[in-house]
Amino acid sequence: MSTAVVAKQRTPVRPARILLHTFLIVTALAWLAPLLWAVFAALRPYSETSNRGYVSWPHKLSFENFTNAFEQSDMMHYFGNTLIIAVPAVLITLLLSSMVAFYVSRFDFRLNIFLLLVFTAGNLLPQQVIITPLYRLYLLIDLPGITTSGKLYDSALGLVLIHVAFQSGFCAFVLSNYMRMLPHELTEAALVDGASVWRMYWQIVLPLCKPAMAALATLLSIWIYNDFFWAIVLISTGENMPITSALNNLSGQYFTDPNLVAAGALLTAIPTLIVYFVLQRQFVSGLTLGANKG
């Protein structure tokens, strides 16, 4: 059946299509239901839900829980913590992994398949495999004056380093695949013209990788923002926690008021949702970029 025929057939609404749309609408709503339920709970005052139950017609809907959660738990401070960790981590990861990818994809020094294997395999390991020695290592490394804790442990620097080390595996893999698709003549010509290796990387190869870099940057931002585990183990002072991990403590403070906890949890999700809606294509292409090639 050619596409033209299919297009013609589509004009009258077919029952199969209606059935499919019905199915998809119902399923999509079911998928959104937990989040919508959280929004509903967060919009209602605690006194009302405790009197009338959660499954009841709302009498008063307000953003009070949101403003309370935001102010009482000093959320701005924790968003700041996340920013201090995520921005450098994303930038350094992209810089380092693009350098490795450049090396691996442009120069055949035999080592490169092995190097790529090491990076990719490292990224696939569960984090808990390395956490015990890493935790000890972070406690052992003294950095007086550099971090406020005086150690790598309990510092933003420590989190940035482990994010970079861990995520650069995935990025190096994706970027090297991407760079390998660039015509070799590009860099060869530059080399013959006497361009330095750094110029080749910085002025020729990197600009061509913009789409892949944009996709990875989006993906990394969300991943690092959403990280829960590293900070739970490697940060001991509640004050220093990034927002996602801080949520755990905050909920402990307000466990008696689920509506407030819901509001707090939803607030932390807002930045990821904004990034996702604005940069949806980058996010999805980044996610499938690695998978498709693998």
Partner 1 sequence: MSSETSTKTPEAAAVPPPGPAPVHKRVPQGHKRLLTRRDRITLGFMAGVPTLLHVALVWVTALASIALAFTTWDGIGFDSIKWVGLDNFKQLFTDNPQFWPAVEHNIIWFVVLIAIPTPLGLFLAVQLDKKIRFSRVYQTAFFLPVVVSLAVTGFVWQLIYNPDTGLINSLIGANKPGHYIDWIGNPHLNLWAVLIAASWRHTGYMMILYLAGLKGVDPSLREASSLDGANEWQTFKNVIFPTLRPTNTVVLVVTIIEALRAFDLVFVFNKGAQGTELLSILITNNIIGESSRIGYGSAIAVVLLVISLAVIIPYLIATFRKERRA
Q: 256 to 275, contacts with partner 1 by CB under 8 A?
A: 258, 261-262, 265-266, 268-269, 272-273
Cα–Cα distance, 11 to 287 (Å, whole number): 35
Cα–Cα distance, 89 to 106 (Å, whole number): 25
38-77 positions binding partner 1, by CB under 8 A: 38, 41, 49, 53-55
Residue from 83, 91, 204, 214 that binds partner 1 (CB under 8 A)? Answer: 214
| C-alpha distance across the termini of the chain, in Å | 32
Decide: 158 and 146 in contact? Cβ < 8 Å: no
Does residue 120 belong to the site contacting partner 1 (CB under 8 A)?
yes
Residue from 83, 197, 204, 249 that binds partner 1 (CB under 8 A)? Answer: 197
Decide: 136 and 217 in contact? Cβ < 8 Å: no
Does residue 254 belong to the site contacting partner 1 (CB under 8 A)?
no
Decide: 182 and 133 in contact? Cβ < 8 Å: no
Mark the segment that binds partner 1 (CB under 8 A) among 57-65, 67-75, 142-150, 280-288. 280-288
Cα–Cα distance, 46 to 257 (Å, whole number): 7
Cα–Cα distance, 158 to 149 (Å, whole number): 11
Does residue 230 belong to the site contacting partner 1 (CB under 8 A)?
no
Cα–Cα distance, 118 to 169 (Å, whole number): 8
- Of 78, 80, 57, 82, residue with least CA distance to 69: 78
Residue from 58, 88, 150, 211 that binds partner 1 (CB under 8 A)? Answer: 211
149-168 positions binding partner 1, by CB under 8 A: 161-162, 164-166, 168
Nearer to partner 1, 28 or 61 (CB): 28
Mark the segment that binds partner 1 (CB under 8 A) among 60-68, 72-80, 83-91, 135-143. 135-143
Does residue 12 belong to the site contacting partner 1 (CB under 8 A)?
no
Token code pair at residue 126: 């569960």
22-41 positions binding partner 1, by CB under 8 A: 23-24, 27-29, 31-32, 34-35, 37-38, 41
> What residues form DSSP beta bridges with 144?
147
Least distance in angstroms from the C-beta of 62 to partner 1? 18
Nearer to partner 1, 67 or 248 (CB): 248
Site track for partner 1 across 172-191, x = CB under 8 A: x-----x-xxxxxx--x--x
Is residue 151 helix, strand or coil?
strand
Does residue 283 belong to the site contacting partner 1 (CB under 8 A)?
yes
85-104 positions binding partner 1, by CB under 8 A: 96-97, 99-100, 102-104
Token code pair at residue 189: 């010509």
Cα–Cα distance, 127 to 185 (Å, whole number): 40
